[in-house]
Structure formats: C-alpha cells, structure tokens
C-alpha cells in the first residue's frame, strides 16, 4: 500500500501497480486515529472562511470540533444539516477549489483535509450509525415532481421531503444517481456508497421512479396538470460533444459518455457476468483534459489497454481535471500528449480505427477564459497508430425537456434559463438547476442549486398556501 505524498495527514491509497488491475476504490479513507490527528489541525476560526467556500454551506468548524471530541456520529449529523450526500462529496468534491482553498492554514501550510474528514465521518455513520429514518415532517399535502436523480434532483427531493412535501423523482435510466452512477467510475466512487446515500433520501420519504423519461411518458405540463404543484428540472448535461473531424463515426470511436456508461452503469468490466461488453484495443487515445478524460483513460487501462494517452490541446497547467485525479492517472501509467489536438481519425478497410493524426500547438495570448490560447504550429502534423479513440471534450444539455415544454426559455448551448438565486425558470411553478442550467460543472454546485431551488419552491408553495388560507377566512 502506497502513501499519498502531501503535507497533511496522508490518505492511504492502493498501490498504482495493483490498482490498475482492479476497479476497487483507489483512496482508502482515514482511520479513526488519522481523522483525530487531522481534525486537531483545525483552528476553529470564528469567521468560518471554509464554510463560506462551500456551495451548500456546511458548518465545517462545527463538524470538525465534533471530530476532535471523537463524536463522529454527531459530526455526520452536523454535516447532514446542510448536505444529504456527504460520503459522495467527501470523495469527489474539488475541495481544493472550495472549502480548503479558504482554510487559513493554507496560507502558510497545507489546509485542513476537510474532504477526507467529511468522507471519514460519513463512512463511519454508514457502518456504525443508526439506520436513517423518515423525516417526520408534518405533511403539507402538496406534491412536487423532480425530473432527474443526479445530485441536484436528489438534493431538492431530500430538502423538500424534510419540509413535508410529497416528492416524486422521475429518472430516465434504470438506476438513480445521474453521473454519480453512470459517469464517475467505481474506483473513485463505489456505487454501494451512492446507493446507500440515495436510500437515505428515499427513507426520508421521497419516491424515486426509474425508467421514467419525462418528455416521453409525460410532459412537464402534464405533470403540472396531474397534481404536482411545482416541478424541478435537474436533467444534467448528458449529450456528448464531438469535434466534427473526419473519422469520428469509425468503429472504435466512443464518446466518453458511452464508454463510461458501458463501463460503470452497465458494468462492462465484469463482462460476461454482466451482459454489456466493451472493446478496448491495445492503444487508446482520450481527447480532452478534464475529469471525464481522466476517468476514461483510467478505465481504459483497467480494461486491459497497453498504452493510454490523453491528447489535450493546452498545457498541463490549463488542464481542468482535479490535480489529484491527473496525478493518480499519471501514477497509473497514463501518458499526457499535451499541446496536441487530433485533426482526423484514420480507419482501416473494415471501418475500424487504426491511427490518429494530430497537430501540435503552442500557447499564445490569454483568451476570454484567462487561459493562454492554444495556437496551431503549421506543418507539425504527425500520425500515431491507435485502436480506440474516446472523445471527452464536454457535454451539452439533453434537449428533450426544453423541446417538449415550449414556454421554457433556453440559452447558449441549450441550457435552461433559470434565476441563479432561486432556480425559477421562465415558466411559473417550474424550477431548474445543476448542469442543465450551468452546463457541465460539479456535484456540489448542482447540489447548491438544488438547495436554493428547494427553498424557493417552499416559499412559492407556502405563499400559495397562505393566500388560500386568507381567501377562505370568513371576513
Ligand atoms: C465522468 C465524469 C466525472 C466527473 N467527475 C466529477 C468530480 O470528480 N467532481 C465533481 O464535483 N464533479 C464531477 N463531474 C461533474 C458532476 O458529476 C456533474 O456536474 C453533476 O453530476 C451534475 O448533477 P446534475 O444533478 O445536474 O445532473 P446529472 O448528474 O447529470 O443527473 C441528471 C439525471 O437526469 C436524468 N435525466 C435526463 N433527462 C431526463 C428526463 N427527460 N427524464 C427523466 N430523467 C432525466 C439523467 O438520466 C440523470 O440521471 C463529473 C462528470 C462526469 C461526466
């Protein structure tokens, strides 16, 4: 077992040589002793800058104070006051960009490992804590529909159920969880953990219906006519983008979405015990530099590819993947082909990929994102033999809801237009949040949007309720 090299209490991880042959979780989690040592580093700042950096506002100093006392169940309860999916967030949140970025220890030393502590207490509660129960809230008698069971829909469902609403979640796939089950691989986020956190949301009282594609079985308007007094749309951004270069329709070219869905949701890595196969050749190129690209590359290695490279048109500094994920990928043997982009995919006479033609880039002036713009180097084209190409260059919102709900306004790339403070869309009673509004983002930002929308839906339905009460009062 190797130790991660960081300035704070290291997290035990599986050895890269061993883990590249299995789909078990890479990071193994703190022991009690490690959690107590790490918790002791927290300065308990009165102003709580770390909490201000958390999109769902977890009271971080308060939960760490309970960790210091060894009250791990109390710490888990404290987190759950604001976050219903702590074991997930403790594993996949980009804490380095959020809570930990604001930790005052980070000015001179390493910040407190808040994410690792969150994961520890959530795991502790799952194995040692009391079984979750129903919310016990007084029923409001009002029904709310949530479309999509990703982190944003689940957050709305949990928060509204706790307030006494009768919530039904409609999920298109056969398994709830959104990207948490179909995208993020088992070795980063075990599905057992996602299932346990979803079960807790169900135990609060929310009903989760799978195989239910809204826009096909019922439209948003039909849900509203069917007794749902508000609808939350959290349908994510699951439509893969392509580069529109020659050869993209050859056999052996996948979108990262298809590749990861086959691998994770359909469990192709356990074929033939599971029905879905996946073909990964010896040489695999993954186009893109984000978390999705890293996940695809690391899955390809585990599925038996001999050589896997990331092809990214900017430098390593601009790569949007979490640093930890990129480091883990490199440790496992993924090569980075930086400042490079494909220009065409070359096929053999049977229509299968046999090579990738690329061009080199150099960095120019900063663009509107503030990152230095990649500029093509004329005449630098080169060809590499390749068996599989995975496109991981981003996703757009699925247009089904906007197409079947005419009065919902859409914006750039088909996102739904919604008020960032409330999630209110252009249609009364319909709210939206998460990737469907922002485009592909993060688990915690989708959850933050869900929290704000749940509060706004409650205000909206409460106002209606008070108006009803006052209009029926005898004058
Ligand atoms: C491979 C991958 C790795 C990632 N890694 C990270 C990471 O490490 N950290 C991080 O913070 N973020 C990560 N992200 C991003 C993060 O997962 C998303 O930002 C987040 O899941 C968005 O949540 P959401 O609830 O808006 O949508 P989603 O998670 O996409 O969920 C939307 C759900 O709606 C369902 N749906 C769609 N249309 C309909 C319909 N018409 N009717 C019913 N249901 C419908 C979908 O099936 C899906 O289950 C990753 C994304 C991917 C793809």
* Predicted confidence (pLDDT) per residue in 280-312, tens digit: 999 999 999 999 999 999 999 999 999 999 999
Q: Which residue has the higher pLDDT, 151 or 373?
A: 151
Q: Ligand 1 test: best mutation among 94, 148, 286, 292, most atoms within 8 Å of CB?
A: 148
Please state the rounded mean pLDDT for residues 318-337: 93
Angle at 298 between CA 296 and CA 303, to 5 degrees: 90
Whether the pLDDT of residue 252 is over 50: the answer is yes
pLDDT recorded at residue 318: 87
Q: What is the dihedral of CA 282, 288, 294, 299, to 10 degrees?
A: -40
- The residue nearest atom 14 of ligand 1, judged by CA position, is 442
What is the pLDDT at residue 371? 80
- Residues forming beta bridges with residue 255, ordered by sequence position: 391
Q: Using a 6 Å cutoff on CB, does residue 235 contact ligand 1?
A: yes
Closest CA relative to residue 54, chosen from 29, 25, 78, 26? 78
The confidence band for 5, taking pLDDT boundaries of 50, 70 and 90, is very low
The average pLDDT across 443-447 equals: 95
**Does the beta carbon of 265 lie inside 6 Å of ligand 1?**
no
Q: In the prediction, which pLDDT does 108 show?
A: 86
Whether the per-residue pLDDT at 1 is higher than 50: the answer is no
Cβ of 214 below 6 Å from ligand 1:
yes
Ordered by where they begin, the domains of the chain are: 2-128 (1.10.1060.10), 143-238+396-472 (3.50.50.60), 242-393 (3.50.50.60)
Q: How many CB atoms lie within 10 A of CB 428?
A: 10
Ligand 1 within 6 A of CB of 175: no
What distance in angstroms lies between residue 378's CA and the mean position of ligand 1's atoms? 38
- β-strands 307-311, 283-287: how paired? parallel
pLDDT tens profile 143-160: 999 999 999 999 999 999
Contact predicate 112/6, CB 8 Å: no
| Ligand 1 centre distance from Cα of residue 179 (Å) | 4
Q: What is the mean pLDDT of residues 83-98?
A: 93
According to the model, what pLDDT value does residue 471 have? 55
User: Which residue lies with its CA nearest to atom 2 of ligand 1?
Assistant: 292
Would you say the CB of residue 60 lies under 6 angstroms from ligand 1?
no
Q: What is the DSSP string of 248-298?
A: TTSBTEEEHHHHHIIIIIS-GGGTTTSS------SEEEEE--SHHHHHHHH
131-144: per-residue pLDDT in tens? 666 667 888 999 99
Q: What is the mean pLDDT of residues 44-63?
A: 94
User: Confidence class of residue 463 from pLDDT cuts 50, 70 and 90?
Assistant: confident
pLDDT in tens, 378-435: 999 999 999 999 999 999 998 999 999 989 999 998 999 999 999 999 999 999 999 9
How far apart are the CA of 147 and the centre of ligand 1, in A? 12
Which residue from 178, 207, 289, 416 has its CB within 8 A of the most atoms of ligand 1, so it is best to mutate? Answer: 178
Q: Which atom of ligand 1 is nearest to the CA of 440?
A: 19
Q: What pLDDT, on a 0 to 100 scale, did the predictor assign at position 4?
A: 41
- Give bridge partners of residue 166 from the DSSP assignment: 143
Ligand 1 close to Cβ of residue 215 (< 6 A): yes
> Going by CA atoms, what residue is nearest to atom 15 of ligand 1?
442
Quickly list H helices, 358-442.
400-404, 435-438
pLDDT of residue 469: 54
Residue 29 beta carbon below 6 angstroms from any ligand 1 atom? no
Q: Is the CB of 55 under 6 A from ligand 1?
A: no
Which residues pair with residue 345 across a beta bridge? Answer: 356
Give the mean model confidence (pLDDT) for residues 317-340: 93
Using a 10 angstrom Cβ sphere, with 0-12 exposed, 13-18 middle and 19 or more buried, the burial of residue 140 is: middle
Q: For residue 369, count CB atoms less than 10 angstroms from its CB and return exposed for 0-12, middle for 13-18, buried for 19 or more.
A: exposed
Taking alpha carbons only, the member of 189, 150, 152 closest to residue 173 is: 150
Determine the pLDDT at residue 475. 47
Distance from Cα 317 to the centre of ligand 1, integer Å: 26
pLDDT in the model for residue 130: 74
pLDDT of residue 133: 65
Rounded to the nearest whole angstrom, what is the distance from the C-alpha of residue 139 to the centroid of ligand 1? Answer: 30
pLDDT digits (tens, 9 = 90+) for 169-227: 999 999 999 999 999 999 999 999 999 999 999 999 999 999 999 999 999 999 999 99
Q: What is the mean pLDDT of the chain?
A: 92
Q: Report residue 13's pLDDT band, with 50, 70 and 90 as the boundaries.
A: very high
Position 256 confidence tier, pLDDT thresholds 50, 70, 90: very high
Ligand 1 closest atom vs CA 445: 19
Contact 296, 312 (CB under 8 A): no
Residue nearest atom 9 in ligand 1 by C-alpha distance: 92
Interhelix angle 32-39/114-128, nearest 10 degrees: 140
Do the strands 335-337 and 307-311 form a parallel or antiparallel pair, or are they unpaired? parallel
431 pocket-lining for ligand 1 (C-beta < 6 Å)? no
Q: How far is the CA of 440 from the centre of ligand 1 (A)?
A: 8
């Amino acid at each position: 077992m190797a130790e991660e090299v960081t300035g704070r209490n290291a997290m035990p991880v599986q050895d890269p040589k061993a883990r590249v042959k299995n789909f078990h979780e890479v990071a193994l989690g703190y022991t009690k002793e490690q959690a107590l040592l790490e918790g002791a580093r927290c300065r308990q700042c009165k102003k709580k800058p770390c909490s201000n950096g958390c999109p769902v506002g977890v009271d971080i100093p308060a939960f760490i104070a309970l960790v210091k006392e060894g009250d791990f169940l109390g710490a888990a309860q404290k987190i759950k006051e604001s976050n219903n999916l702590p074991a997930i967030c403790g594993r996949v949140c980009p804490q380095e960009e959020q809570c930990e970025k604001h930790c005052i220890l980070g000015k001179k030393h390493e910040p407190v490992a808040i994410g690792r502590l969150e994961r520890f207490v959530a795991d502790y509660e799952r194995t040692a804590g009391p079984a979750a129960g129903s919310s016990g809230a007084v029923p409001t008698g009002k029904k709310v529909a949530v479309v999509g069971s990703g982190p944003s829909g689940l957050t709305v469902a949990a928060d509204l159920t706790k307030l006494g609403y009768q919530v039904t979640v409609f999920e298109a796939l056969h398994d709830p969880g959104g990207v948490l089950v179909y995208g993020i691989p088992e070795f980063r986020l075990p599905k057992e953990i996602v299932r346990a956190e979803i079960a807790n949301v169900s135990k609060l009282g929310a009903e989760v219906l799978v195989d239910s594609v809204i826009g096909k079985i019922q439209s948003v308007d039909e849900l509203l006519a069917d007794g749902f007094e508000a609808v939350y749309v959290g349908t994510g951004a699951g439509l893969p983008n392509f580069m529109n270069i020659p050869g993209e329709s050859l056999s052996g070219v996948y979108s990262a979405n298809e590749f990861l869905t086959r691998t994770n949701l359909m469990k192709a890595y356990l074929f033939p015990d599971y029905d879905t196969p996946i073909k990964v050749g010896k040489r695999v190129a993954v186009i893109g530099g984000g978390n999705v690209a890293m996940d695809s590359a690391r899955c390809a290695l585990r599925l038996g590819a001999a050589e896997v490279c990331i092809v990214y048109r900017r430098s390593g500094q601009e790569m949007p993947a979490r640093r930890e994920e990129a480091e883990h990928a490199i440790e496992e043997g993924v090569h980075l082909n930086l400042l490079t982009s494909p220009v065409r995919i070359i096929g053999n006479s049977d229509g299968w990929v046999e090579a990738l033609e690329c061009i080199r880039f150099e960095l120019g002036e900063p663009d509107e994102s503030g990152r230095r713009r990649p500029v093509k180097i004329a005449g630098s084209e080169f060809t590499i033999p390749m068996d599989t190409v995975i496109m991981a260059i981003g996703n757009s919102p699925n247009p089904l809801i906007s197409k079947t709900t005419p009065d919902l306004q859409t914006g750039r790339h088909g996102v739904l237009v919604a008020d960032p403070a409330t999630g209110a869309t252009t249609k009364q009673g319909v709210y939206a949040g998460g990737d469907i509004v922002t485009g592909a983002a993060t688990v915690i930002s989708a959850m933050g949007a869900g929290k704000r929308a749940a509060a706004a839906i409650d205000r909206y339905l409460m106002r209606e309720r008070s108006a009803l009460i006052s209009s029926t009062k005898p004058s």
